[in-house]
A and B are shown apart, each in its own frame.
Chain A
Amino acid sequence: DTGVSQDPRHKITKRGQNVTFRCDPISEHNRLYWYRQTLGQGPEFLTYFQNEAQLEKSRLLSDRFSAERPKGSFSTLEIQRTEQGDSAMYLCASSLTGTGGGYTFGSGTRLTVV
């Protein structure tokens, strides 16, 4: 297992278009998280899954954002009707509960909305 994989690495889209990102977590990990990070800021929590169940969603997350994790494996994050303010690095992380370990982050998908 090579860690958490995210695809694509970069995405440039026009305002108003829909985009979808994919995350493949470490296979043994049961929790999967989505964070957003802008320049000079810390990661901002978006949502997380335990297995296939979405357990929490940030109140800051508009209804244009939706995430899925079918079968508790990979996850997708979709942003509908993108806005310039959506431009950011979208980070996925995974973890295994009960181990005392932290999150393993992927390299992220950098979204630029033009």
Chain B
Amino acid sequence: GQQVMQIPQYQHVQEGEDFTTYCNSSTTLSNIQWYKQRPGGHPVFLIQLVKSGEVKKQKRLTFQFGEAKKNSSLHITATQTTDVGTYFCAGSGGGADGLTFGKGTHLIIQP
């Protein structure tokens, strides 16, 4: 079955530093989505990428979808304490199937 892997599992940064999490799929994806889950909360949708090589930005967040549509990354510039949480990528193979989530990257920010 489809597998989605994320690295790193944990990332400690000083406030103001940049952060990147990487996502790799064992199969080609039709689209990839990113979610953020705050401690004690539920996943919240951030963005969906569909096209090969696509890059999207949301303020300090930059999302990329690889040319082969098997990998993706999320980069946060100048982290703030509000960025704390777990970031999940989730891939879809297309057709009638649900999203497969990675295990997430836990972002810990030290003031």
Residues of B within 8 A of A (CB): 1, 33, 35, 41-48, 50, 88, 90, 96-104
Q: Complex: how many Å from CA A41 to CA B86?
A: 10
Asked whether, in the complex, the Cβ of B101 is within 8 Å of the Cβ of A43, the reply is yes
Asked whether, in the complex, the Cβ of A91 is within 8 Å of the Cβ of B48, the reply is no
A100 contacts the other chain (Cβ, under 8 Å)? yes
Asked whether, in the complex, the Cβ of A55 is within 8 Å of the Cβ of B96, the reply is yes
Asked whether, in the complex, the Cβ of A42 is within 8 Å of the Cβ of B42, the reply is no
Please choose the segment from A10-18, A68-76, A103-111 that sits at the chain B interface, where 4 or more of its residues have CB less than 8 A away.
A103-111
Nearest B residue to A6 by beta-carbon distance?
B42
Q: How many contacts A-B (CB < 8 Å)?
A: 56
The residue in B42, B97, B101, B102 that gathers the most chain A C-beta atoms within 10 A of its C-beta is B42
Asked whether, in the complex, the Cβ of B98 is within 8 Å of the Cβ of A105, the reply is no
> Which residues does chain A contribute within 8 Å of B90, judged by CB atoms?
42-43
Residues of A within 8 A of B (CB): 33, 35, 40-45, 47-48, 50, 55-56, 59, 91, 93, 100-108
A selection of 30 A-B contacts at a CB cut-off of 8 Å is: A33-B98, A33-B99, A35-B101, A42-B88, A42-B90, A42-B101, A42-B102, A43-B43, A43-B90, A43-B101, A45-B98, A45-B99, A45-B101, A55-B96, A56-B98, A59-B1, A91-B42, A93-B43, A101-B45, A102-B33, A102-B46, A103-B33, A103-B35, A103-B45, A103-B99, A104-B45, A105-B43, A105-B44, A107-B41, A107-B42
